[in-house]
Amino acid sequence: MDLAAKARLLAVSAGTVAAVISITASAPALAQAKEQFFPMLVYRTGPYAPNGVPFANGYGDYLRLIDARDGGINGVKITYEECETGYATDRGVECYERLKNKGPTGATVFQPLSTGITFALTDKAPRDKIPLITAGYGRADSVDGSVFTWNFPLGGTYWDAADILVQHVGKKLGGLDKLKGKKIALVYHDSPYGKEPIPLLQKRASMLGFDLLLLPVTHPGVEQSATWLQIRQQRPDYVFLWGWGVMNSTSIKQAVATGYPLEQMYGVWWSGAEPDVLPAGKDAKGYNALVFLAPAGQGAVHKDIIKYVYDKGQGTGKKEDVGEVLYNRGMVSAMMAVEGVKRAQAKFGKKPLTGEQVRWGLEHLAIDEATIKKLGFEGFMEPIHTSCANHEGAHAAAIETWDGTKWHVTSGVYQSDMSVIEPIIKESAAKYAAENKLTPRDCSKEG
């Protein structure tokens, strides 16, 4: 890292610390009981920082906006604290244990931004009665709220993502039946995250008759020469990229060096942000990725963030980065957590709530088009409606394409095929329940 990059990192870190201190110290000691504490598991350092930093900035800025513009969540001020995980599961668990009891009512909700940390916390959350929001990541089988009472994969899972990619390339060929005899390579991070889409892709390969080539990449993903040698030799018709951090930009640069056509390469929604394509420069033109829960760009909520947060010198990052893909996704993730609290307040009162009470709110989310517009997120997300049985609430995504300078949404919205996915969810959730001696809830009796 050069000196300028180090200086930028120190500036961001210093700004974050100042933000935490400022937002925590703003309330008098006597008002401490009127606070809702949001822990933030972040990674601003290490090989995953290029992707972790903008997400954390968007998440923190939205929480600051709610306090600055709205006076908190129905009068309850927000406090938060960041804890650096470096994307490491053991450090994520340490952060969880350190922060779970903070605040007058304990942690509101955890959002790990890591499938590995999610797996580790899935058994802890029920004992501590703290919900986990894993928007677009985590366990795909946790859609089943009757078994995974505390997990909320809001907006989509990796099984949705994989199915939508298969649908899209099938459509480009003229129909899913045209995939028979084709070859799809999955270049994936060799971790729980990267392995999540494999069961769905194997199911689709069996149904549709395409060959699936599995190519794992070892953490952190900077060494991929052997992977791309196999791609050069086998020439798959399509490459699906399931990477994160520096792995993504490395894969794109390797594809360019190998001569693999980028218009036939598709990333999951965590492989389609500015840090993934900018290192390759103009050579990344034509690369595609899924987009869900906020494409790049600015809307009404961004104007409020600039007015109430950045123009007052309270922004976490740089003003010019507001509106990037991962910034927006962090912002939407924070918004869903806030809306879960609001929904719970309607039942339990406008006061600081426990994680168990917030879980009820997350299980009764009703973020429709009118609510999305009212919140300033019009054009940045699909409606989300959850229930006891369904902790996902939506399973839609589109395709975005990099033109060399910015992202453009280049397809309509796809819905994953739940007739294919639901049986896999039920089978996997039932297996988890049996292994852990859990009795699934009877959702027909839940209020």
Give 193-206 pLDDT, tens digit per residue: 999 999 999 999 99
| Cα within 13 Å of Cα(438), Cβ side | 18
Give 383-393 pLDDT, tens digit per residue: 999 999 999 99
The pLDDT of 399-415, averaged and rounded, is 96
- Rounded to whole angstroms, the Cα distance separating 199 from 292 reads 21
Give 262-312 pLDDT, tens digit per residue: 999 999 999 999 999 999 989 999 999 999 988 999 999 999 999 999 999
Q: What is the pLDDT of residue 445?
A: 85
- Is pLDDT above 50 for 6? no
Domains of the chain: 3-157+296-394+427-445 (3.40.50.2300), 158-294+397-419 (3.40.50.2300)
pTM, two decimal places? 0.91
Give 335-352 pLDDT, tens digit per residue: 999 999 999 999 999 999
Give 76-102 pLDDT, tens digit per residue: 999 999 999 999 999 999 999 999 999
Q: What is the pLDDT of residue 1?
A: 41
Q: Is 360 exposed, middle or buried (0-12, 13-18, 19+ CB in 10 A)?
A: buried
Give 206-253 pLDDT, tens digit per residue: 999 999 999 999 999 999 999 999 999 999 999 999 999 999 999 999
Give the pair of three-digit tokens for residue 82. Answer: 């960041």
Which residues touch 184 (CB under 8 Å, ≥6 apart)? 166, 169, 201, 205, 210, 211, 212, 213, 236, 237, 238, 239, 240
Q: What is the pLDDT of residue 294?
A: 84
